[in-house]
Amino acid sequence: MSSNEWPLWEVFIRSKQGLNHKHVGSLRAPDAAMALQNARDVYTRRSEGVSIWVMQSALITASDPKESGPMFEPADSKVYRHPTFYDLPDGIEHM
């Protein structure tokens, strides 16, 4: 019977103007219009949002947690990308 299950959707909500849409959870719905409707009822019952995105979960490509070491290593080894890496002479307070 599981082929008859409604597809899974991920829900993203902008809580107010000026902020990003943020992932809040998922739900099942037969199509995008119903997914939006359900997202409103399930995730914004207390004025949590001013805008909703829904997207079928199956369309997401995710990084593999088993590979997260090599995947994110380049960022770990480049400390010179951070301002704190650099020495400033005394007398400079803000830069």
Write out the residues near another protein by the rule CB under 8 A.
1-2, 4-6, 8, 25-28, 30-31, 34, 41-42, 45-46, 62, 64-67
Sequence-ordered list of residues with C-beta below 8 angstroms from that of 60, at least 6 positions apart, any chain? 10
Which CB, 19 or 25, lies closer to another protein? 25
Q: Tally helices (H) and strands (E) across the chain.
A: 2, 3
Of 8 and 50, nearer to another protein (C-beta) is 8
Name which of 93, 1, 95, 13 is nearest 51 in CA terms: 13
Quote the least distance from Cβ 77 to another protein, whole Å. Answer: 19
Nearer residue to another protein within complex by CB, 5 or 87: 5
Q: How far is the CB of 94 from another protein (least distance, A)?
A: 35
Q: Give the other-Cβ count within 10 Å of 76's Cβ.
A: 8
Least CB distance to another protein at residue 19 (A): 18
Amino acid letter at 77?
S
